[in-house]
Structure 1
Amino acid sequence: MNIRFLLSGSLMMVILGTGCVSNKKFSQLQSSYNELENRNRALDGKYQECQRNLTGASTRVQSLEEQIAAQRTGLASLQAALDKCLNSTSEGNVNISKLVDEINASNKYIQHLVNTKNKSDSLNMVLTNNLTRSLSREEMRDVDVQVLKGVVYISLSDNMLYKSGSYEISSAAGATLSKIAKIIMDYKDYDVLIEGNTDNVPISQKNIRNNWDLSALRASSVVQSLQNDHGVDPKRLTAGGRGEYNPIASNDTDAGRTQNRRTQIIITPKLDQFMDLIEKAPESDSTKPVAPRP
């Protein structure tokens, strides 16, 4: 109920109850009424202000509740993402562990290959030293010895072996062939292929049609020298010619053609004989140091 109406009713009751009042008393009552009315208006204003504040507070509460709900949704998403990340990390750790194992296995295999190659290189070096230890420094200038996969290649230059433009063995080649024959005879169970090679310059000799003929004749001359002059069993020997078709250098230069004009003595041990070969040195000149290559 409005205080204004309450005061008005009270004032009327006083007037009716007393019949009449003095002007002074009436003025006092009127003043009290006015004061109470002012207080009522002030309280009413505060009430309206409280209502507005309450409405604003309710709006803010609703906004905060919406923000809280959004934060909870975001937190749930973050938790799901974290769980997924943890699962992925766990799977990744397993994959990394497998990858590390594979890398370690690969490293072991690579090390095995390196060790095998080093062992092969060492065996080839020992075998090469055994085969060349009886050759002098001068002879090594015209003799090249290589060991590839257990096969021995002794390459002899034609300048040392033959007379110029001929397939006849020169007298200067006798001493070198004698030492090579000794090497061949020391390893008597191995087959020996004598292979002739030429450059691509056409040959113009009687009874020699081309470089095929020349290479084959030169190989045959070495075979017969090893057999007749140095006692190598001919059953072990094979002569072959490859003409100009197995070059090791370019035929466009004098130096390249010189390299291509060569005769190779190829010693092919069986696999079970290769290990014995590296432990066995030629019987003669076994204490002579290996001559360095020029």
Structure 2
Amino acid sequence: MKKIFLMAATASLVLSSCVSKKEFADLEARHKETKDLLNSATVKLNACLEEKASATAKVEAMEGQVADLRKANNDLKETNQGLIENTKDMTVLTTKGAENLEKSLESMKEKDLKITRLQDALNKKDSVTLAIVSSLKKAVGIDDPDIEINVEKGVVFISIADKLLFKSGSYNVTTRAKEVLAKVAKVVKSKPDFECMVEGHTDNVPYKKGDILLDNWDLSVKRSTSIIRVLQELGVDPGKLIAAGRSYYVPLVENDTAENRAKNRRTRIVVLPKIDQFYDMIEKEMKNLSAEGK
């Protein structure tokens, strides 16, 4: 720029000495016009340079944004792929979970069915037990205070006072006892799946008759076998009969009075289901369930 001005000044000096005033004025006017154009061009150039710098900055910023978008897009793709893999894993887990749940439900159904069938078997046994109680009460009569019929834990008990069965200190069955036992035998014979255990009980007075019996143990067992022989004579299958003696070790009340000792002297007939048959019935049901599950 300085060189241009110097050249212009020099030219002006040279021309001033060679040209007329009018020509000089025209040249000076042109010089001013050229100078104005130059100034205007310089201003425009500076504006363009500023616009270029601004545009470059914007381009760089946009390139940075594009790079960030590309990185975000790649991250999104990786995340999406991870979600797809997780979804596959979840699908596998869900399928296995559904299969396990289905198996658990099937197992629960089988268990419920087993419980139901076992309960039916127990109910059947209880129904038979109650039928026996009803038959015995009708046959024997429940108004006699010396005869008690009840059920404990699914087992029928017939308790008969010794004064109906034996004379004092004896194991010979009385005629009246045979009448009562005949009614019992009739009911027992009608239930082939049940057995009879005859329990003899005494008081705590020592047995001292000096015959073949040594003590109250012998007396309690002997009374039991005497009852069993009568039941056998009345047609009860001897294979269903069990003899048992308890001596005086299972009293109903304290042996402190004559009345209490009379209560403790008793024979108890226990009517119970054949345990082996009952378990055979349960085992049969279990086998049926296993066969149905295959």
**Same fold, TM exceeding 0.5?**
yes
Structure 2: distance between partners of 1:235 and 1:120:
21
Tell me what 1:262 maps to: 266
Q: CA deviation at 1:180?
A: 2.4
- Tell me the SS of whatever aligns to 1:263: strand
* 1:137 correspondence with 2:142: yes
Q: CA deviation at 1:108?
A: 2.0
Structure 2: distance between partners of 1:257 and 1:54:
119
Q: CA deviation at 1:265?
A: 2.7
More helix by share: 2
TM-score, reference length from structure 2: 0.64
Question: Do 2:200 and 2:220's aligned partners in 1 also have CA atoms closer than 8 Å?
Answer: yes
TM-score, reference length from structure 1: 0.64
Q: Which of 76, 90, 94 pairs up with 2:95?
A: 90
Tell me what 1:184 maps to: 185
Deviates more, 1:256-265 or 1:47-56: 256-265
Taking structure 1 as reference, are residues 75 and 270 closer, same or farther at Cα in structure 2, changes over 3 Å only? Answer: closer
Whichever residue aligns with residue 94 of structure 1, its letter is E
Whichever residue aligns with residue 184 of structure 1, its letter is A
* 1:123 correspondence with 2:128: yes
Q: CA deviation at 1:194?
A: 3.3
Taking structure 1 as reference, are residues 175 and 263 closer, same or farther at Cα in structure 2, changes over 3 Å only? Answer: same
Alignment of 1:10-49 (within 5 A): 22-49=27-54
| Structure with larger RCO (C-alpha < 8 A, sep 6+) | 1
Question: Do 1:194 and 1:219's aligned partners in 2 also have CA atoms closer than 8 Å?
Answer: yes
Structure 2: distance between partners of 1:30 and 1:39:
14
Question: Do 1:223 and 1:239's aligned partners in 2 also have CA atoms closer than 8 Å?
Answer: yes
CA RMSD of aligned residues (A): 4.7
Percent identity for Structure 1 against Structure 2: 21
Taking structure 1 as reference, are residues 113 and 38 closer, same or farther at Cα in structure 2, changes over 3 Å only? Answer: same
Tell me what 1:241 maps to: 245
String of CA shifts for 1:42-64, please: whole Å, max 9, x gaps.
Answer: 11111111111111111111111
Question: Do 1:168 and 1:221's aligned partners in 2 also have CA atoms closer than 8 Å?
Answer: no
String of CA shifts for 1:49-96, please: whole Å, max 9, x gaps.
Answer: 111111111111111111111111011000100111112212222222
- Gap regions ≥5 residues in structure 1: 275-294
Deviates more, 1:47-56 or 1:202-211: 202-211
Structure 2: distance between partners of 1:58 and 1:160:
118
Q: CA deviation at 1:157?
A: 3.9
Structure 2: distance between partners of 1:102 and 1:235:
44
- Tell me the SS of whatever aligns to 1:138: coil
Q: Which of 109, 115, 120 pairs up with 1:110?
A: 115
- Tell me the SS of whatever aligns to 1:125: helix
* 1:60 correspondence with 2:61: no
Question: How many residues were matched structurally?
Answer: 253
Structure 2: distance between partners of 1:31 and 1:269:
133
Tell me what 1:282 maps to: none
Whichever residue aligns with residue 74 of structure 1, its letter is T
- Tell me the SS of whatever aligns to 1:80: helix
Taking structure 1 as reference, are residues 46 and 259 closer, same or farther at Cα in structure 2, changes over 3 Å only? Answer: farther
Taking structure 1 as reference, are residues 24 and 111 closer, same or farther at Cα in structure 2, changes over 3 Å only? Answer: same
Structure 1: distance between partners of 2:72 and 2:183:
101
Whichever residue aligns with residue 181 of structure 1, its letter is A
Tell me what 1:281 maps to: none
Taking structure 1 as reference, are residues 123 and 235 closer, same or farther at Cα in structure 2, changes over 3 Å only? Answer: closer
Structure 1: distance between partners of 2:233 and 2:39:
156
Taking structure 1 as reference, are residues 249 and 63 closer, same or farther at Cα in structure 2, changes over 3 Å only? Answer: farther
Q: Which of 134, 155, 161 pairs up with 2:159?
A: 155
Question: Do 2:197 and 2:271's aligned partners in 1 also have CA atoms closer than 8 Å?
Answer: yes
Q: CA deviation at 1:184?
A: 1.6
Question: Do 1:211 and 1:243's aligned partners in 2 also have CA atoms closer than 8 Å?
Answer: yes
